[in-house]
Amino acid sequence: MRKGNVYLEDIPLAEARAHWRDALEKHGLYSALPGEIVSLPEACGRVTAEPIWARISEPHYHAAAMDGYAVRAADTTTATETAPATLTVPEQATYVDTGDALPQWANAVIPIENVQPEGDPTTTIQFYLSASPWHHVRAMGEDIVATELVLPANHRLRPVDIGAVAAGGHAKVVVRSRARVAVIPTGSELVPAGSTVKPGQILEYNSLMLAAQVEQWGGRARCWDIVPDRKADILAALRSAAETHDLVLLNAGSSRGSEDYSAEAIAELGSVLVHGIAVRPGHPVILGLLDTTPASPREIPVPVIGVPGYPVSTALTGEILVRPLLARWQGLADETPLTMQATLARKVLSPTGDDDFMRVAVGKVGENVVATPLSRGAGIITSLVRADGIVRIPRFSEGYPAGEQVRVDLYCRPDQIERSIVAIGSHDLTLDLLAQHLAAKGHGLRLVSANVGSLSGLIALRRGECHLAGCHLLNAETGEYNRSYVQQYLPDVPISLITLVGREQGFIVAHGNPKGIRNINDLARPDVLFINRQRGAGTRVLLDYHLEQTGLTADDVHGYEREEYTHLTVAAAVASSAADVGLGIRAVATALELDFIPLASERYDLAIPHEHRKSALLRPLLDLLHDRDFRAAVSALPGYSIEEMGRVAHEDANKSAAE
């Protein structure tokens, strides 16, 4: 353990966990929390702190299981299908409703429908079927016997468990106390969620995410107000949190920048056990202990975790460090995720010294389960939203090649993978609308998309990694879209090109067009900085076509080599002044309040193999192309045309052979 100055040094995850566990065990902080008594309506989801024994039997008397007559089984043996038996009421037969207690002398029930409607039912009954002992009777203790174990300790209570505990005679139950967790966001640049932000300000949402994780995993979270990057303020927040909480999560400032005070503050108030874990994302994690303070004398310290500030790092730190500790305090083992084997859709590289936790989207294409890597930046929170699971790339591995079989720790149920439509290819806003409307139809289907560019989408189709690919590839010689590329890259795969939209492409420039950009020739000006799309993107193919038409080359365009993967990120680069101009669709320029200079109209198609086009899985999605509400939503987007939506633009010549 270190006090005073501390230094960032990555250690393996297993070693970091061992240091953490040993320190917590030393101070008695690695065992289940004590119990508290709660009423049953408050107990669902809580964990039992002690075994629950039945106080009474269920049922606690012999009860009729049918409406009818309580009888002695021995008195009914003379009844046959041809000769009815007769019993006197109430001496030999007593009427009972379902749930009524049987007379002490009775041991069976004749259902009311088996009693003949002859004679006076107040004095006698007739019946043709005899009754065996305890027939149509719920015997005392049939479900629960007094003193029987209803539930063991360390069991998370489900709705059915609440019923069983109540049936055993309890109105309250002893459950594990919920860990009190303080979540402290730090950063002078942070402003509360919902604020109107200015340049240099960042919306603070990590604390909301951490607190939600804590609540989901059985803790009780309290979020602090944002603490500025001043060591004195951070010290004060830590002291206050340690007085009344079981765990402190100090978010951001865990690295070694000029305003990163987390490690110093923790060391000054206690000790730093670990500063830096060899994981990606999230390596500058701090594990420490806060000692007792004069204001709140305690015999044991308070665990503290310095959580990195990038949102993906924040979430991962919660999963690999906070969740296991909260589970331990609940008396539970850490949850073992559902897993699935999948084929990796593309090659990935990984830092050799780190355990790399890579987010993936997962879908089943034919008989092949495919994992598509998502954006891997630590600041890309949407990669968490879109992730179906995590692929862990172990230390000292340089990554995996495309086609590698990998284990996916799932965030979703396996049956959701079966109902996923996988789209890989060009980015377009209407794919998000498709996903939204598909979910709204209630079919239980979802659209999973990865933005890799038109050509990469066709290659993914060829490898059987997706159900469809969005593409808008211009043939410079014919002026035709997509057909020649499908024939080139998928010569042996019967493909249909179904038009999704027509859309307007052009130059995205800052509001007011301060550089006075008018046409493609302006890209060659030395004062104009361009932002490009990645190689293989249809937008880049369009750019190269127009550069060639005007006699320009890539070398003439300042910024040609800098690439982004979506229209939105191109527009964001222009909006942030990281570039003066980029090529993209009108809708994203409008969305970010930028100006737009039209260049061309293009056709955006969905390339779909015939085997998938005819499948029940894709039918609801294709039906949406003719849905009035969906078409209206697309029409409302600036620069979009639905005139050809749903039209088959090309039917592969191999169709008949495939069928």
| Whole-number Cα distances in Å, 400 to 279, 378, 502 | 17, 20, 38
Q: Please, what is the average pLDDT of the chain?
A: 91
Check whether 322 has a pLDDT greater than 60: yes
Q: Which residue has the higher pLDDT, 295 or 237?
A: 237
Tell me the residue ranges of DSSP E strands in 208-338: 220-223, 247-251, 270-275, 279-280, 286-290, 302-307
Do 64 and 110 contact (CB within 8 A), yes or no?
A: no
* Residue 305 backbone phi and psi in degrees, to 5: -120, 125
- Determine the Cα–Cα distance for residues 342 and 336; give it in Å rounded to an integer: 18
Percent of the chain with pLDDT over 70: 95
Give the model's confidence band at 257: pLDDT under 50 very low, under 70 low, under 90 confident, else very high.
Answer: low
pLDDT, residue 188, reads: 92
Q: Could you read off the pLDDT of 445-492 as tens digits, one per residue? A: 999 888 888 999 999 999 999 999 999 999 988 889 999 999 999 999
Q: Taking Cα atoms as reference points, which of 81, 85, 93, 96 lies closest to residue 118? A: 85
pLDDT, residue 131, reads: 93
pLDDT, residue 22, reads: 95
| Whole-number Cα distances in Å, 158 to 155, 163, 492, 568, 579 | 9, 9, 53, 44, 55
* Residue 96 backbone phi and psi in degrees, to 5: -140, 145
pLDDT, residue 298, reads: 57
- Determine the Cα–Cα distance for residues 591 and 198; give it in Å rounded to an integer: 18
pLDDT, residue 385, reads: 84
Judged by DSSP in three states, 475 sits in: coil
Q: Could you read off the pLDDT of 106-118 as tens digits, one per residue? A: 999 999 999 987 7
- Helix/strand/coil percentages in the chain, nearest 5: 25, 30, 45
For residue 158, give the DSSP letter. Answer: P
Taking residue 193's Cβ as centre, other Cβ atoms within 10 Å add up to 10
Check whether 300 has a pLDDT greater than 70: yes
Find where tokens 């059915």 sit: 160
Find where tokens 């919920």 sit: 178
Number of H helices, E strands in the chain: 19, 38
Q: Could you read off the pLDDT of 517-530 as tens digits, one per residue? A: 999 999 999 999 99
Half-sphere exposure of 281 (CA within 13 A, CB side): 23
Strand partners, 425: 451
Residue 31: burial class (beta carbons within 10 Å; 0-12, 13-18, 19+): exposed
Alpha-carbon dihedral angle through residues 352, 355, 361, 367, given to the nearest 10 degrees? 80
Q: Could you read off the pLDDT of 485-506 as tens digits, one per residue? A: 999 999 999 999 999 999 999 9
Give the model's confidence band at 398: pLDDT under 50 very low, under 70 low, under 90 confident, else very high.
Answer: confident
End-to-end CA gap in the chain:
70
Give the model's confidence band at 656: pLDDT under 50 very low, under 70 low, under 90 confident, else very high.
Answer: very low
- Determine the Cα–Cα distance for residues 651 and 642; give it in Å rounded to an integer: 20
Q: Taking Cα atoms as reference points, which of 601, 599, 470, 589 lies closest to residue 543? A: 599
Q: Which residue has the higher pLDDT, 131 or 9?
A: 131
For the segment 377-393, the average pLDDT, to the nearest whole number, is 82
Do 461 and 495 contact (CB within 8 A), yes or no?
A: yes
Give the model's confidence band at 295: pLDDT under 50 very low, under 70 low, under 90 confident, else very high.
Answer: low
Judged by DSSP in three states, 429 sits in: helix
For the segment 423-435, the average pLDDT, to the nearest whole number, is 90
Do 619 and 484 contact (CB within 8 A), yes or no?
A: no
pLDDT, residue 291, reads: 87
For residue 299, give the DSSP letter. Answer: S
Q: Taking Cα atoms as reference points, which of 131, 124, 130 lies closest to residue 87? A: 124
DSSP labels, 497-555: EEEEEEEEEEEEE-TT-TT---SGGGGGSTT--EEEEPTT-HHHHHHHHHHHHTT--GG
pLDDT, residue 386, reads: 85
| Whole-number Cα distances in Å, 292 to 118, 236, 295 | 86, 14, 8
pLDDT, residue 117, reads: 79
Do 515 and 528 contact (CB within 8 A), yes or no?
A: yes
